[in-house]
Amino acid sequence: MKTALITGITGQDGSFLAELLLEKGYDVHGTIRRSSVDYRERIAHLEGHPKFHLHYADLGDSMSIIQVLNKVKPDEVYNLAAQSHVQVSFDSPEFTADVDATGVLRLLEGIRQCGLAETCRFYQASTSELYGKVEEVPQNEKTPFHPYSPYAVAKLYGFWIVKEYREAYNMFACSGILFNHESERRGETFVTRKITLAAARIAQGKQKKLLLGNLSSLRDWGYAKDYVECMWLILQQPKPEDFVIATGEQHSVREFCLYAFRRAGIELEFVGEDENEKGIDKATGKVVIEVSPDFYRPTDVVNLWGDPTKAKEKLGWDPTKKTSFEQLVNLMVDADMAKVAVERASEAVRTNLAEYLEKGIVK
């Protein structure tokens, strides 16, 4: 029976990975941070499971990392913890570097110092953001990196330090270069979830308008539940390697809006250009989407498109047999339609958040 340690277990991916590993019979340990509010909603259903355990640790705190590694002695570590919001990394670049770059080093060195280097396999949550200002399309494992945000620069350090520990200390340490993956559990300020929540609220008369940034940005969006399977597969290979995980399909933010609003019952038409572009509800003629430069980034990554050939060949993971783009949008909208319908108890809070989003205060 294997023991896994997941950092970032309270996040979108951490919660899906914990479910997958529990299904496989693992003893699952996760790290959490102290917070003044309850932020464990994604894993609340797992608490109380006899093989599910939580420990306090922070990637900024070596002592807490060493303590948990010594206690758990994991066979596999999945490092999913990060300040994961690209736009926020422009506001908090030093914190982002500390957690997303130095944090990876702290964990790898902790594994070594706890005498686990030969037995413990290590997965690093790397990212398509490394390709940034892309140098070729689509992007594969050989595409040169050109990080284009403080987040991506920090993650680039994480990628290289994993490679370094693999080569210097012969550790089974790998990076999954994952393209964007979304779900009904996605954080509410990432663009897909912001759109599906707004579509649901607008369809139910609880929000008037959605403000977005660059509508032309292109992403290769997959379903998070499908992607955590690859994290596990990467650590089950005979030798440690890095893999691109993507669907091989690309869509714009504008297109995501069209599909999401349609699923919520609103047919959209986009008119105008750049900052003057608007999404109009065809049935009522009302403007429901506007562009706000508040959501533009100092440098924006606009053309991510992954080539998952290596994952197909070596992991046997075929994205064409997984959740499609339309299925992903539909499942997110359906979940948010249900969530918004029973939002009454916390309606005031929600309305405030919607207003903050509208005013561009919350990115």
User: Does the protein bind ligand GDD through residue 97 (CB under 6 A)?
Assistant: no
Site string for ligand NAP, 185-214 (x = CB under 6 A): --x---------------------------
How many chain residues are in contact with ligand GDD, going by CB under 6 A?
24
* Residue bearing tokens 């300020």: 189
Show which residues are catalytic: 127, 129, 151
Q: How far is the CB of 348 from ligand NAP (least distance, A)?
A: 24
User: Does the protein bind ligand NAP through residue 80 (CB under 6 A)?
Assistant: yes
Residue 190's closest CA among 86, 335, 83, 260? Answer: 86
Give the range of 100-108, 207-215, 265-273, 319-327 binding ligand GDD by CB under 6 A: 207-215
User: Does the protein bind ligand GDD through residue 196 (CB under 6 A)?
Assistant: no
Torsion of CA 326, 42, 67, 154, to 10 degrees: 40
User: Does the protein bind ligand GDD through residue 189 (CB under 6 A)?
Assistant: yes
Residue 111 and residue 98: Cα distance in Å, rounded?
18
Burial class (CB in 10 A: 0-12, 13-18, 19+), 310: middle
Helix (H, G, I), strand (E, B) or coil at 211: strand
Phi, psi of 236 (to 5 degrees): -100, 5
83 binds, among ligand NAP, ligand GDD, none (CB under 5 to 8 A by kind): ligand NAP
Residue 319 and residue 311: Cα distance in Å, rounded?
9
Q: How far is the CB of 143 from ligand NAP (least distance, A)?
A: 15
Burial 146-170, CB ≥16 within 10 A → b, else e = ebbbbbbbbbbbbbebbbebbeeee
The helix or strand, by DSSP H or E, that contains position 121, with its residue range, turns out to be: strand 121-127
10 binds, among ligand GDD, ligand NAP, none (CB under 5 to 8 A by kind): ligand NAP
Per CB under 6 A, residues contacting ligand GDD are 84, 86-87, 127-129, 179-180, 189-191, 194, 212-214, 217, 219, 253, 295, 297, 300-302, 304
Per CB under 6 A, residues contacting ligand NAP are 7-8, 10-14, 31, 33, 39, 58-60, 80-84, 99, 125, 127, 178, 180-181, 187
